[in-house]
Chains A and B, each alone.
Chain A
């Protein structure tokens, strides 16, 4: 018997190849039929600060959440062990570099001072010394198997065999930790080699060298092979997509028919545009897919406004950004609203305010998205709970933008953006491209024809047709008009379109209920809390509480009717909201839009993702006591 689910951490300095380890390992695991989700945590830094990959693996499905404690900690350096040793469960395993056993926590400059003293304090309390050797002792005392290996020896041997320049040896550390993780999990060397081949692709030498490293690791750690063996996989997929949230959204944009993407570099959004640039045009079976013009603009103001320009020319256009960039785009969004221009803004939230926690996640921009921009006008805000949802929602975002001629904000976050998951291939048979293009009526064209809430939209360049746009209030032709009667009609038209969205978009695209209604509680959230919320609902059922998770997918217009119906059926009593923010603002939005009072709130705003263990505990606390607000903060 092995493990059907297992979580692990791979840690090391930023820039040392951790990400490569994640790519290789996730591909090797996927190849053998395991489901994987892996979150990447890193500082706003290029080289040297502590970063780690927190991964969940399952033999049954794609895992939905991350959890602590972990079964396995694979460390590249001493800092990783100091930072995470408390996260290893008893009976778990630590893999470490023997050469750094004497390192003291007080000697590591890259650890932030407050953390360093906290670790030193913790060690003292445990009666341990400040060096790594002492930590190993503590761990062994807790029943953790510690497996050390001299990285130097492996690397020196590699250097001799392949004549590698000593200065570039450090890039093979990634191979050591990937191999040792694979070995401990009971993956075979062929699967590992497959992972190397997929990641290094044409660079055959690198594959060969990494396979050599793997062989050395296998020789040395033979007796530990399969110590944390995974169960034989029961997953049913024959093909999976192994991709980050950024990748998935980019893929969906290509499927949706995106033709213009503008961006100004910002974490964690830029990778999406990079991906699009790579796939800007393809030719398959004689069909051209694209071209997509991907442009790095001078700032986010140019990003949004050029995307709106492209939209006026009739193409599907979007921009991807994060909080600081979104703030700069707001005036453009107001123009798009005023001019009924379809445009999609993919918004990956990170920790604010200001530059805040630039590389950490959050859901703190809900209200800022829903209420962004001056004046009143229709705008839609969508969110997605996981990679696969994000795929379909991206297509939906374009369909809504074009059908209703308005800006759509697709509100995602860093957790989704940077986490890699194995996901089933999307079902393209389900995908429709709805552009809402109606024939342009004969006669003089009126871009803002008042006969219906949605006026026929002709792109700039339509033969024989001319039109005007202006951010000023305008008449049906798009010419400036301050006449009050026209103002009332135009202004109302732009706002009332939102009613159509509310009436026409199917309920399950706006709000989705998971679990059996009529239980003891209703957990409500949106976006990336979905996976952990679902797992917490399952987990807490084992402790006797039955409940549902309500995933609010369309945040604006708020699905008032749908929420009220769910609550009517399941009772307004124990409603708990959860969010990666201080305010748990979905509760306030629900109060405002649906008149629902949600007192119980679970908040996390450390920039680290909510994990299963802490959410389950917090949920239990809100259900069993009169504590209304629980703030959680686990994770380094």
Chain B
């Protein structure tokens, strides 16, 4: 399939609440994929469970709608098995940073070439508005009977600390910016993370579009802001800057790229130095049997490969 001219919109009816920030994200995904000319059959969107988890059904590329919190493990298996695929994960804040937080951290450590897109709405949308891991302490959104008793985790800080090599934030209704960030994240080689501020019109009456519209500002407007690590020695200082910048929240909320580091090896590169033939010969492309169903390993090869475990009997005469 050719990317150009393909409509990335599937014919599944989009059942999000009218006005939901997810619509902005979906539109940006269509545009980014079109700009990247992605081949739908070589592209996979992997999602978790939540309102956000439904996104793959609305897009005309392969879609894998997985379990709550587990999109990253599924994506990891898909990508490692077939490194030719473009793999993009979509998940909610509960999904990626609550139940799936361990996987979120692990992907950073691996720096596998996957994009993770966080639908950050501060609530558990699909289960009707409970506090999510990004909702600040003491916040009381309308569905909560009591103010939030747990602190929020800062997704950008966590991503940088975990080892993601592309870390950015955008806002669901900042269409062009969001599209560009997604394009850059897909182009980046290594684990990329995009935190998208996503108003939930139904359950989050604090972090609304009015709230964000007044506060978000673009990092790329600041000529002094340079998030790119150009040599390994710069890594720590750039990380610290990204972390410091990510702590900015309140009257002004930065969006844009916080951190990019292409000096870290990707998981694919690490594998390829170990497996040699990888990624050219990979799990999906390699042969396991002949046409007549016989295994690649025949009796002769078996003895050669496993010679360490074979004892040739030599009885005493």
Which residues of A are at the interface with B, using a C-beta cutoff of 8 A?
A: 27, 30-33, 188, 191, 198, 201, 232-233, 235, 237-243, 247, 251, 254-257, 259-260, 262, 279-282, 284-285, 287-293, 295, 297-299, 301-303, 305-317, 331-332, 335, 395, 422, 425-426, 428-429, 431-435, 459-472, 478-480
Contacts and interface: CB of A to CB of B under 8 A. Distances in A.
Interface of B: 1, 12, 40-42, 44, 46, 49, 54, 56-57, 60-67, 69-70, 72-82, 84-85, 102-103, 105-106, 271, 274-278, 281-284, 286, 288-289, 293-306, 308-316
Contacts of B303: 239, 425
Contact of A298 (B64, B66, B103): B103
A49 to B, nearest CB: 28
Q: Is the interface of B mostly helix, strand, loop or mixed?
A: mixed
A466 B312 contact: no
B295 A470 contact: no
Contacts of A299: 102
B67 A254 contact: no
Given A289-B297, A472-B65, A313 B284 contact: yes
B278 A291 contact: yes
25 contacts: A32-B313, A241-B310, A242-B311, A251-B306, A259-B81, A279-B305, A284-B305, A289-B296, A291-B281, A291-B282, A293-B80, A297-B106, A301-B70, A302-B70, A305-B74, A308-B77, A309-B74, A309-B81, A315-B284, A316-B288, A428-B294, A432-B294, A433-B295, A460-B62, A460-B64
B295 A309 contact: no
Closest 3 CB pairs of A and B: A309-B77, A257-B288, A259-B283
Given A425-B302, A480-B54, A293 B81 contact: yes
Contact of B105 (A233, A298, A303, A431): A298
Contacts of A262: 77
Nearest to A234: B315
Given A32-B313, A308-B77, 6 more contacts: A239-B310, A281-B278, A298-B105, A309-B73, A425-B310, A460-B78
Contacts of B103: 298, 301-302
Contact of B57 (A279, A280, A470): A470
A372 to B, nearest CB: 15
B67 A471 contact: yes
Given A306-B77, A310-B80, A466-B41, A31 B311 contact: yes
A194 to B, nearest CB: 8
Contact of B312 (A239, A422, A470, A471): A239
B55 to A, nearest CB: 11
Contact of A293 (B49, B106, B271): B271
Contacts of B314: 31-33
Contacts of B76: 295, 297, 302, 306, 309
A422 B297 CA distance: 21
Nearest to A465: B41
B310 A431 contact: no
A251 B304 CA distance: 13
A463 B1 contact: yes
Contact of A332 (B67, B281, B298): B67
A279 B80 CA distance: 18
Contacts of B63: 467-470, 478
B311 A428 contact: no
A597 to B, nearest CB: 40
A431 B78 contact: no
B64 A468 contact: yes
A432 B283 contact: no
B295 A428 contact: yes
Nearest to B102: A298
Nearest to B293: A432
A459 B284 contact: yes
A480 B77 CA distance: 23
Contact of B275 (A240, A291, A313, A425): A291
Given A240-B310, A251-B306, A317-B81, A291 B70 contact: no
Contacts of B315: 32-33, 232-233
B18 to A, nearest CB: 19
A239 B284 contact: no
B105 A239 contact: no
Given A314-B284, A460-B78, A464-B1, A298 B106 contact: yes
Contacts of B274: 280
